[in-house]
Structure 1
Amino acid sequence: MMKFKLAFLFFCGLSTFMSAQKHAQYADSIRVANGIPEMSYAVVTGDKTLEINTSGLHSVSLTDPATLNDRFHIGSNTKAMTAFMIARYVDKGKLKWTTQFFDVFPDLKKTSKPEYYDITLEKLLSHQARIQPFQGENDPAVPNFTGTHQEKRDQFGKFVLTLDPARIDSDHQYVYSNAGYTLAAMMVEKVTGMSWEKLIDTVFNKDLKLDVKLSWPENLNSKDTWGHSFENNKLSPVPSNTDYHLDYTEPAGDINIKLTDYIKFIQLNIQGLQGHNNYLKASTYNFIHKGIEGYSLGWFNSYENNQDFSTHSGTAGTYYTIASLDRKKGIGYIIFTNSFNEDTVNGVRFLMRKLKKDYGG
């Protein structure tokens, strides 16, 4: 009987290894076919990494090979991390999801549009506050604010609230807004007395021991990924000292991280969705992911083949990342790349579809 069990376990291990090898080969072929310099991916459960791999180069102009220590800018996947950080302080009682913005900033009410008077923390994080998008296309002109990052965000937030509300799309109940995340960050900054940068460092680095950094991965003084913009029909490497103007919306999209550390963040979310308290309460995870239809707090709710997913992608024009959590099966799928164009998005879509099919059934 023992020999049978050992043989069975060996067979299962060999089968998993062969499946991972096939996925690695498939992922690399997708990467090459779509001209993606570097692609990393992982499939995880709440307590295991089922598969992880990386391939390619740090840049189209370099010969440095990809490694699992490489950092990627995750763009709008920052939103889930900002919402998670804020949730920590909701759990601590510093705020409620229903706390109104102007209860925290009563002095800003007199200069703000009346349509914003009832906006709450949860409405800001779920894009239901009708805040102008500030996604880089057709944005209102922004004054040149001065001071620290936090001071400039405060000035930007005050400015945003003087603008006319965005129109709700008839097909959705929300208007996707980077600026809304600045206003949400202002609320937690005010009640904690710490900047968003300090709060991110406290939650993810000090408490959770993750190696989270801000803005572009450093690639001039160390060997790491270069993001790639798409110019004149070709990918162009972007050095880390490139001036990157986020219009004061860093809480919506300016974190960089290693895949191995991002996995730990995703696993916390999977555990919470499975009913386990960890850094946050299980009920908090449930609200973050499923509390609001369409777009909850940092996650899109998507439904595929009678399965429900929390999904989000992120890009600031030079990297493209995506995470998708199968909430029923408790499986997370993560893909990181260091380029952004139509081919990159298509390549990532093909790999995600393959991984979900093989692991999710």
Structure 2
Amino acid sequence: MASRCKFIVILSFVSQLFFSQNGKRYIDSVRQAFHIPEVNYAVIDEKNIKSISSLGLHAVNLKDSASLNDRFHIGSNTKAMTAFMIAKYIEKGKLKWNTKFFDLFPEWKKASQKEYYNITLEELLSHRALIQPFQGENDPQIPKFEGDQAVKRKQFGKFVLSLAPAIPDTDHAYVYSNAGYTLAALMIEKVTKKTWEQLMDQVFNADLNLNIKFSWPENRKAKDTWGHSFENGQLIPIPSTTDYRLDYTEPAGDLNIKLPDYIKFIQMNLKGLKGENNYLKASTYQYIHDHFPQYSIGWYNITEKDIQWSNHSGTAGTYYTLVHIDKTNSAAYIIFTNSFSEETTNGVRLIMRYLKKTTTNK
């Protein structure tokens, strides 16, 4: 009996090794075919890393090989981390999910559109406050603001609330808005008297040791990933010294992180969704992921073929990241890349499909 169990363990190990080797070859072939400089990916459950690898180069014009120590800008996957941080302070009693924005900023009410008077924190985080999107295309002209970044975010918030509400289409109950996350950040800044940056640093670095950083990965002083924009049919490496800003919507999309650290964050979510209290209570994880249909709090919330998913992608135009959390089977699939183009997104979709197909029930 013991020898049979040992044989099964060995067979399982060989099977995983075979998948890992063949999986890496296939994924690298997709990476090359779709002209993606670097791909880091992982398949995980709440306790284990089933598959993980780094493939490619830091930039199209460099020979620096990819590694799991590389940092990636995660774009809108920042939203789930901002919501997670806010959730911690809700558990501490600083706010409630249904706290109204103007209960904290009554002096702003006079200059704001009346349709916003009753918007709540959870409506901002779930894109149901109907704030204008501010996604970089067809945005209203932003006035020039003065002061440090936290002061400018307040001025931006006042400006956003002076604009007419966005109108949802017939298929959705929400309008995806980066600016809504700025307003949510202003709420937590008000009650804690700390900036979004300080709060994120406290939760993810001091408390959880996940080594997040802000804006693009540093690639001029150390070897690390270069993001790539797509111009005139070519990928263009973007140095970290490039003048770049997200127009005061940093809480919606301006973190960078290493894949192994991001895995720890997703595993906390998986454990919480299985009913385990950790940094947040299990009930808080359930609220974040499942309270609203379509888009909950920092996560798209969908059901496909009897499987419940929390999904999100992220880009600020130079990196592209994608994470799918299978809430039914307690698994997650994560892909980080350092480019953004139609080819990148198509290649990532192929890789995601492959990872799901080849690791199900393994």
Q: Same fold (TM over 0.5)?
A: yes
- 1:144: Cα distance to partner? 1.0
Identity percentage over the alignment?
A: 61
> Which residue does the alignment assign to 2:322?
322
CA contact (8 A) 1:329 1:360 kept: no
Q: What aligned pairs does 1:1-361 form with structure 2 within 5 A after superposition?
A: 1-360=1-360
CA contact (8 A) 2:41 2:336 kept: yes
- 1:103: Cα distance to partner? 0.5
- 1:155: Cα distance to partner? 0.5
1:107-161 Cα deviation digits (max 9, x unpaired) = 1111111000010000000000010000000000001111111110001001100
Amino acid of the residue matched to residue 123 of structure 1?
E
Equivalents in 2 of 1:276, 1:245: separation in Å? 38
Equivalents in 2 of 1:108, 1:221: separation in Å? 43
Question: How many positions carry a matched residue from both structures?
Answer: 361
- 1:360: Cα distance to partner? 2.9
- 1:358: Cα distance to partner? 2.0
Equivalents in 2 of 1:360, 1:152: separation in Å? 47
- 1:302: Cα distance to partner? 2.1
Instruction: Return 5+ residue gaps in structure 2 as ranges.
Output: none
Instruction: Return 5+ residue gaps in structure 1 as ranges.
Output: none
- Secondary structure of the residue aligned to 1:284 is helix
Equivalents in 2 of 1:291, 1:30: separation in Å? 36
Equivalents in 1 of 2:198, 2:20: separation in Å? 39
Equivalents in 2 of 1:8, 1:295: separation in Å? 42
Amino acid of the residue matched to residue 26 of structure 2?
Y
1:202-229 Cα deviation digits (max 9, x unpaired) = 0000000111000000000000000000
Amino acid of the residue matched to residue 147 of structure 1?
G
Amino acid of the residue matched to residue 256 of structure 2?
N
CA contact (8 A) 1:229 1:340 kept: yes
TM-score normalised per structure 1: 0.99
- 1:303: Cα distance to partner? 2.0
- Secondary structure of the residue aligned to 2:295 is coil
Equivalents in 2 of 1:216, 1:239: separation in Å? 9
Equivalents in 1 of 2:206, 2:47: separation in Å? 21
TM-score normalised per structure 2: 0.99
The root-mean-square deviation of aligned C-alpha atoms, in Å, is 0.7
CA contact (8 A) 2:289 2:310 kept: yes
- 1:321: Cα distance to partner? 0.1
Equivalents in 2 of 1:326, 1:358: separation in Å? 15
- 1:308: Cα distance to partner? 1.1
